[in-house]
Structure 1
């Protein structure tokens, strides 16, 4: 693999050519700037963490496929692999999204896990680049839970590749600064409106809309939340999340008392200097 492919710079530029104009044409928040606060940090996430995640997924796939060769009957693997590609992709979407839902819900429910996931929720302006901002622990656990069963069952490389392309594009769309709700299909397919409510810093939207592809999963488990045609008033979390790349990666490991002191110092320092 070429270094350029590993870091995904070409892919990132292609995505920019698609989503930047899209966010201008279908803008939800028309005053939001393209070069908004924190964009540089998200670019680092996209390139550096993106390369790291690719390596992790490759190792997961190799390990799962190696184990499945000795545990899964050859007939089962051949049956799964022999299906039409479109059917395999459909099955992968359902299977993987059930894993995403379970993992995502756990990251919200368990305080120790939430500290990793809070990095993704710390952003106060949503656009397509926000999809890349996630702590490595959050990413690895979620990918392991959602993709290991896919690799283990022997789905074809072609079907997995198609799924990964769909999943990546869908993730960017969900976070994009666009006013799109998918109409009646919003109960079935995750839309930008659906996921924007997941990021809302509003009490009625807390711990809702966990699925990444199928809103139907949230509907079935009672966590679906789309209040008509409304969109959230604000995003983010109430806790002080560091704004820099290194600080965000260390945040889950720093004691809360120290974080509170650091936040207080950051507020007090400008006042003492004026």
Structure 2
């Protein structure tokens, strides 16, 4: 019992640090870009932020062991690959870059799969945020987390990439993922055709027909360009969210993937119903 308590306490501390450590950066960024409007926007995002924080805490307490065990399982399943030595002698930065590129490429296709009939109900909780901020990076259902660990992890593990490349992929895509979820109008100009901008990802969350099934990458927008899913007409100023009847509270959204009617074809065809 004492070890269980210690583990739970450690996970809570980790969850708290995940929230507190990036907070000054995003508060400063919001203050610089919004000015006094930051106070209005904070009030508007409180209920959505509360759901993200509750999901983070529940994940830390209940599902962290499963996620860690899944990552270890992936590593052991692909321990046999004979080309692990291929990366020996490569510059560390090059191997790390390959890890991020492969991770983002795998994440692109995994993300597209999450918009399919089967996985959308577990991914919808992430898209249900109508006042998206950087905290949306924590707003993922445990089923969605598992699909990320297995599919993204398998793609990297099968290449035999060393552990530091896996860590680089996780760190870069997590922290950059938080950044592109921030409420920023930036498109990056011409650089936006190489890297995902906050505006690009905000269009992915838009409740708009033209934006549906676009902008799946996390770091490299060129992946979307290659596969024809890139769309950034400018800063995103349209409403966000989904039309799924999943409830507005934490519990309703958490149980949504376990309700049979969430998978009904008619409901899937109507998801994220367009405006106008």
**Is 1:118 equivalent to 2:124 in the alignment?**
yes
State the partner residue of 1:72. 81
Instruction: Give the CA deviation at 1:212.
Output: 1.2
Cα distance, 1:121–1:11 mapped onto 2, change above 3 Å: closer
Q: Secondary structure at the match of 1:209?
A: coil
Q: Secondary structure at the match of 2:242?
A: coil
Instruction: Give the CA deviation at 1:163.
Output: 2.5
Q: Secondary structure at the match of 1:153?
A: coil
Q: Is the CA contact (8 Å cut-off) linking 1:201 and 1:235 kept in structure 2?
A: yes
Matches within 5 A, 1:54-73: 54-69=64-79, 71-73=80-82
State the partner residue of 2:93. 86
Paired with 1:219 and 1:10, the residues of 2 have a C-alpha distance of 36
Paired with 1:121 and 1:130, the residues of 2 have a C-alpha distance of 9
**Is 1:244 equivalent to 2:249 in the alignment?**
yes
Paired with 2:175 and 2:148, the residues of 1 have a C-alpha distance of 17
Normalised by the length of structure 1, the TM-score is: 0.83
1:14-50 per-position Cα deviation (integer Å, ceiling 9, x unaligned): 1112212212222497541165222222112223325
**Aligned counterpart in structure 1 of residue 112 of structure 2, from 98, 105, 108:** 105
Q: Is the CA contact (8 Å cut-off) linking 2:128 and 2:241 kept in structure 1?
A: yes
Instruction: Give the CA deviation at 1:202.
Output: 1.0
Q: Is the CA contact (8 Å cut-off) linking 1:119 and 1:133 kept in structure 2?
A: yes
1:111-162 per-position Cα deviation (integer Å, ceiling 9, x unaligned): 2321111111111101011111111111211221112222343322223223
Q: Is the CA contact (8 Å cut-off) linking 2:134 and 2:182 kept in structure 1?
A: yes
Structure 1: runs of 5 or more not aligned? 260-274
Q: Secondary structure at the match of 1:37?
A: helix
1:201-227 per-position Cα deviation (integer Å, ceiling 9, x unaligned): 111111110111111111011110100
CA RMSD of aligned residues (A): 2.5
Instruction: Give the CA deviation at 1:196.
Output: 0.2
In the alignment of these two chains, the number of paired residues is: 253
Q: Is the CA contact (8 Å cut-off) linking 2:74 and 2:153 kept in structure 1?
A: no
State the partner residue of 1:267. none
Paired with 1:147 and 1:192, the residues of 2 have a C-alpha distance of 25
Q: Is the CA contact (8 Å cut-off) linking 2:71 and 2:150 kept in structure 1?
A: no
Normalised by the length of structure 2, the TM-score is: 0.82
Paired with 1:94 and 1:232, the residues of 2 have a C-alpha distance of 30
Paired with 1:37 and 1:166, the residues of 2 have a C-alpha distance of 28
State the partner residue of 1:194. 200
Structure 2: runs of 5 or more not aligned? 1-5, 265-276
Q: Is the CA contact (8 Å cut-off) linking 2:100 and 2:172 kept in structure 1?
A: no
